[in-house]
Amino acid sequence: MTESAPESEYPPISEQLDDIDAARTEGRRKMDWAAQHMPILEHVGEEFEADQPFEGERIGMAMHVEAKTAILVETLADGGAEVAVTGCNPLSTHDDVSAALDTHENITSYAKREVDDEEYYAAIEAVIGHEPTITVDDGMDLVAAIHEDYPELIDSIVGGCEETTTGVHRLRAMAEDGALEYPVFAVNDTPMKRLFDNVHGTGESSLASIAMTTNLSWAGKDVVVAGYGYCGKGVAKKAAGQNANVIVTEVEPRRALEAHMEGYDVMPMAEAAEVGDVFLTTTGNRDVIVREHFERMNDGVLLANAGHFDIEIDLEALDDLAADRYEARDGVEAYELDDGRRLNVIAEGRLVNLAAPVSLGHPVEVMDQSFGVQAACVRELVENGDEYEPGVHDVPDDLDREIAEIKLTADGVEFDSLSETQREYMGSWQHGT
Residues 235-294 that bind a copy of itself (CB under 8 A): 237-238, 240-246, 249-254, 256-258, 260-269, 271, 275, 284-287
**Residue 184 near residue 393 (C-beta atoms within 8 A):** yes
In the complex, the smallest distance separating the C-beta of residue 270 from a copy of itself, rounded to whole angstroms, is: 8
User: Which residue number, 1 or 426, has a Cβ lying nearer to a copy of itself?
Assistant: 426
229 annotated as ligand-binding: yes
Contact pattern from residue 326 through residue 355 relative to a copy of itself, giving x for each residue in contact according to CB under 8 A and a dash for the rest: -xxx--x---------x-------------
163 annotated as ligand-binding: yes
Contact positions with a copy of itself (CB under 8 A) in 190-219: 191-192, 195-196, 200-201, 204-205, 207-209, 211-212, 214-219
25 near a copy of itself, rule: CB under 8 A: no
333 annotated as ligand-binding: no
299 near a copy of itself, rule: CB under 8 A: yes
Number of residues in contact with a copy of itself under rule CB under 8 A = 106
Contact positions with a copy of itself (CB under 8 A) in 28-67: 29-30, 32-34, 36-37
365 near a copy of itself, rule: CB under 8 A: yes
353 annotated as ligand-binding: yes
323 near a copy of itself, rule: CB under 8 A: no
| Binding-site entries | 138, 163-166, 193, 197-198, 227-234, 250, 285, 306-308, 353, 362
| Binding-site residue set for NAD(+) | 164-166, 198, 227-234, 250, 285, 306-308, 353, 362
